[in-house]
Amino acid sequence: MDFLDILLIIISSAGLIHGILFAVYLCFIKKKKTISNLLLGLMLIFMAFRIGKSVMLHFGHNLEPLFIFAGLAFLLLIGPLLRWYVLAMTRSNFKLPSYYAIEFIPFILVFAMSFFITKNWFDPTNRQAIIVFGSILIFIYLHFASYIFISGKRLQSAKKVYAKKLQTKDTKAIFEWLHILIIGFIIIWISYFLNIIEDTIPYIVGPIVYSIVIYFLSYKAYSLKITDIDGNVFKDNDHTPLYNRIVQLVVDDKLYLEPNTSLSSLSKLLGVSSQKTSKVINQHANRNFNDFINYYRIQDAKKQLLDVTKNNYTISSIAFDTGFSSLSSFNSAFKKFESTTPSLYKKENGN
């Protein structure tokens, strides 16, 4: 075995090991046990069986037909798990109905068939065996593709349902995550399917692509904190009306212009705790309280900077007029939201 083969084994196996460790964390270590995390963990475990078979088939010799066929059969589990996972992430209080188990029938049949597969099936001169094996192989990949398509349709349907509703940070994260997850499975499916079409690409490409995809998905899951949320974030609650009241007070009634406006003072006006006010602003506006207030102050300041009737106003006076307690805090906030200074903004956009 040369250096290139060793390198390919390391790269192709890295994602497999990482996926298994991630699955163990979701299923056994993570304190918050949810159906969605369990389904994601099972997908990763069964995909590991599939990828492991590919790595061993490429580098191993005289691999048992049982192992080869069983590895393929696990793709028949991943499709249903993906569909259920999308449902769990887009429906509140999701529970797995017992009749969903019927979707495991294709896997059970093909897995049971693997015990009767012999090396004769892989003999190029055995035409009948090749036709049967090829038909089953195509069925497995089309089955997986159909579930990817169904999951994508479910995601689109969920987006349409909630399109007219005020979305929170968590609901946006779920939609982004599921979109990326489905694209990841499409890429994995394409890399394997191209291989069975007259060896369009090397067989080892599948595991390598999987490693790249699984590391990227893990990164996105961490950055979006996706393992901490599920479909329950779509549950109807009183947060939207409360956020609308916050917007009315802060924006419509121009409470942001008051320099003494604080999270505590706003919460007292609303009659709720500071913690709840902060949470609602963070979820609906995707900003903390200070950024939420400063955003509207800066929007007001931009209008004043370009108002010809206020050409004689200094930047300091505009800063204080829009609720800032100091020029330095105004400049910092302005640069944060506009990526430039107030003076340059006025110079570049003024008449």
Other C-beta atoms closer than 10 Å to the C-beta of 198 total 6
Domains of the chain as residue ranges with CATH: 3-234 (1.20.1070), 239-349 (1.10.10.60)
For the segment 171-177, the average pLDDT, to the nearest whole number, is 94
- Give the Cα separation of 68 and 114 in Å (integer): 8
Q: Which of 151, 153, 227 is nearest to 189 (CA)?
A: 151
- Give the Cα separation of 306 and 46 in Å (integer): 60
- pLDDT digit string, tens, across residues 150-162: 999 999 999 988 8
- Give the Cα separation of 123 and 113 in Å (integer): 18
User: Which two structure tokens, joined as six digits, stand for 48?
Assistant: 């590991």
Top-confidence residue, 183 or 237: 183
Handedness of CA 226, 227, 231, 237 (dihedral sign): negative
- pLDDT digit string, tens, across residues 216-249: 999 999 999 999 999 988 876 557 788 889 999 9
Q: Which of 12, 46, 9, 50 is nearest to 27 (CA)?
A: 46
For the segment 323-347, the average pLDDT, to the nearest whole number, is 92
Q: Residue 199 — very low, low, confident or very high, per pLDDT cuts 50/70/90?
A: low
- pLDDT digit string, tens, across residues 99-144: 999 999 999 999 998 888 777 766 667 777 778 878 888 899 999 9
Q: What pLDDT, on a 0 to 100 scale, did the predictor assign at position 59?
A: 63
Q: Kindly report the pTM of this predicted structure.
A: 0.74
User: In the chain, which residue ranges form alpha helices assigned H by DSSP?
Assistant: 3-24, 35-59, 65-73, 75-90, 105-113, 127-162, 169-196, 205-223, 239-247, 263-270, 274-285, 289-305, 315-321, 327-338, 342-349
Sole residue written with tokens 């609650």: 237
- Give the Cα separation of 259 and 255 in Å (integer): 9
